[in-house]
Amino acid sequence: MASRQRYDFLLYGLFVAAILLAPLMLDEFWLNRIAKYLVFGMLGVAVALSWGYAGILNLGQGLFFGAGAYMLAMSLKLASPTSLQQGSDTPVPDFMLWNAEPGALTQLCCINKGSFIWLPFQSQWFGVAMGIVLPVVIATITGLIVFRNRISGVFVSIITLALVLLVRLLVIDAQPLTNGFNGLTDLAWLTIGAFQSDPYSRATYYLVAIALSLVLVGARLLVSTRAGLILQATRDDETRARYLGLDVPSYQIFFFVVSAAICGFAGMLYVMVSEFASPTFMDLSFSITMVVWAAVGGRSSILGACVGAILINMIEAKVSETKALVEVWKAVVGLIFVLVVLYLPRGLGGFAHDLLDRWRAPATEAASDEGLVAESRDALAERG
């Protein structure tokens, strides 16, 4: 077991080194793309935590991703030049003016009925903090209701799925407040001291790469704590865990919330590298896509799910831009999913573990081979 952990950490080290060294080989255009994929990799980590380790198939991860994204985007929207140049003391987002009723006061406090919600977002750090706080609050409330009432399995998936669609509808419906379908665009860069989150700069790429490395290693350490072990126990047999005296819902809620916080964080990073936030983040298809990434990468492996998300997106980009495949690229990607699910049910991560085991086994296998030979010799002798 111990040596397996050592290999595990070696693989994590290789991955972190690879994403940190990537800028040496790539131009800014590709760096920006890869940065987006790294954010998706972070979503893979979140799915692996809740699906692979807690056994909770959350089909609404997009809700937490979207919440994180919108919170930061609101702050960055207010900081953008167009919002600052509306001729009022407070910045006012352009779309609020387009939607304003005739004669409305051009002030953030009262241009429409709900616009006062935007006031605290004038501070960039409020947006950053809310990007984590809001997903955590939503996840805690949802978790308390769902897990304290012992709802499990497919019902959790249905509830989370309904929730993300509900919030998406609300966001689209609140057009004067959220710019509805169009989402928040024309955002400023996040400024931290001398650093500005220019999405095509190396610095922003490094910010994303380091954030992913920290989340990845943090999640891996978290599942190797005692709490992580107990969580896996509750996944295998909730009743047994309960009769050992463990408060099962508190473990489920805790990891559900951690997973939500990671999604919120990823949402903020995504806003930095793509410069927009949109209700499509809360589309059903996006939440399901995350689950597919994790399934291909291996949901029981945090690194596997992360690599799966990055690889699939790179393959999609490559295939969809290859001339011969422009028409059929979706079929090609679909075929890859089908093949992986059929032949590697535990995903790439599971496959890698099997390979490792086989590679490390020769010593022990040779010993047991000898045993086998001896056994068959005995059998032959008996027969003879």
Partner 1 sequence: MAATALTIDGLEVSFGSVKAVNNVTMTIAEGELRVLLGANGAGKTTLMDLISGRTHSTSGHIHLYDTEITNWQEHRIARAGIGRKFQIPSVFRELTVRQNFEVASCRNPSVFANLGFGFSRHALARIEEVLAIVDLRDKADVTAAYLSHGQTQWLELGLLMLQDPKVILLDEPTAGMTAAETKKTANIINSMRGKHTLLVVEHDMAFVREIAERITVLHLGEVLAEGDIASIETNEAVRRAYLGSRSIS
Closest by CA to 125, choosing from 91, 83, 90, 74, is 74
H-assigned helices in 344-361 = 347-360
Q: Is the CB of 145 or the CB of 162 nearer to partner 1?
A: 145
CA 48/CA 63 separation, integer angstroms: 17
Closest by CA to 209, choosing from 12, 23, 35, is 35
List all residues 6 or more positions away from 121 whose beta carbon is below 8 Å from its beta carbon.
Answer: 71, 74, 75, 77, 78, 127, 130
Beta carbons within 10 angstroms of residue 183's beta carbon = 20
Stretch that binds partner 1, among 166-174, 190-198, 225-233, 289-297 (CB under 8 A): 225-233
Q: Establish if 30 lies at the interface with partner 1 (CB under 8 A).
A: no
Q: Is the CB of 76 or the CB of 253 nearer to partner 1?
A: 253
Q: Establish if 356 lies at the interface with partner 1 (CB under 8 A).
A: no
Q: Whose structure tokens read 């969580």?
A: 231
What's the sign of the alpha-carbon dihedral 91, 93, 96, 100? positive
Q: Establish if 236 lies at the interface with partner 1 (CB under 8 A).
A: yes
Q: Establish if 232 lies at the interface with partner 1 (CB under 8 A).
A: yes
**CA 7 remoteness from chain centre:** 24
Of 123, 225, 322, 368, the one binding partner 1 (CB under 8 A) is 225
Least CB distance to partner 1 at residue 235 (A) = 8
Q: Establish if 164 lies at the interface with partner 1 (CB under 8 A).
A: no
Q: Is the CB of 53 or the CB of 276 nearer to partner 1?
A: 53
Query: Using CB under 8 A as the criterion, what x/- string covers residues 203-222 for binding partner 1?
Result: -------------------x
CA 47/CA 293 separation, integer angstroms: 9
Chain positions 41 to 60 lying near partner 1, rule: CB under 8 A, are: none
Of 125, 243, 343, 359, the one binding partner 1 (CB under 8 A) is 243
Of 226, 364, 382, 383, the one binding partner 1 (CB under 8 A) is 226
Question: If binding means CB under 8 A, how many residues of this protein chain bind partner 1?
Answer: 26
CA 215/CA 207 separation, integer angstroms: 12
Q: Is the CB of 239 or the CB of 285 nearer to partner 1?
A: 239
Beta carbons within 10 angstroms of residue 349's beta carbon = 26
Q: Establish if 233 lies at the interface with partner 1 (CB under 8 A).
A: yes
Chain positions 248 to 277 lying near partner 1, rule: CB under 8 A, are: 248, 250-251, 254
Of 235, 299, 346, 353, the one binding partner 1 (CB under 8 A) is 235
Q: Establish if 152 lies at the interface with partner 1 (CB under 8 A).
A: no
Q: Establish if 237 lies at the interface with partner 1 (CB under 8 A).
A: yes
Q: Is the CB of 45 or the CB of 241 nearer to partner 1?
A: 241
E strand residue ranges, 93-241: 191-192, 195-196
Closest by CA to 108, choosing from 79, 69, 68, 72, is 79
CA 139/CA 144 separation, integer angstroms: 8
Contact residues toward partner 1 (CB under 8 A) are: 1, 222, 224-227, 229-230, 232-233, 235-237, 239-248, 250-251, 254
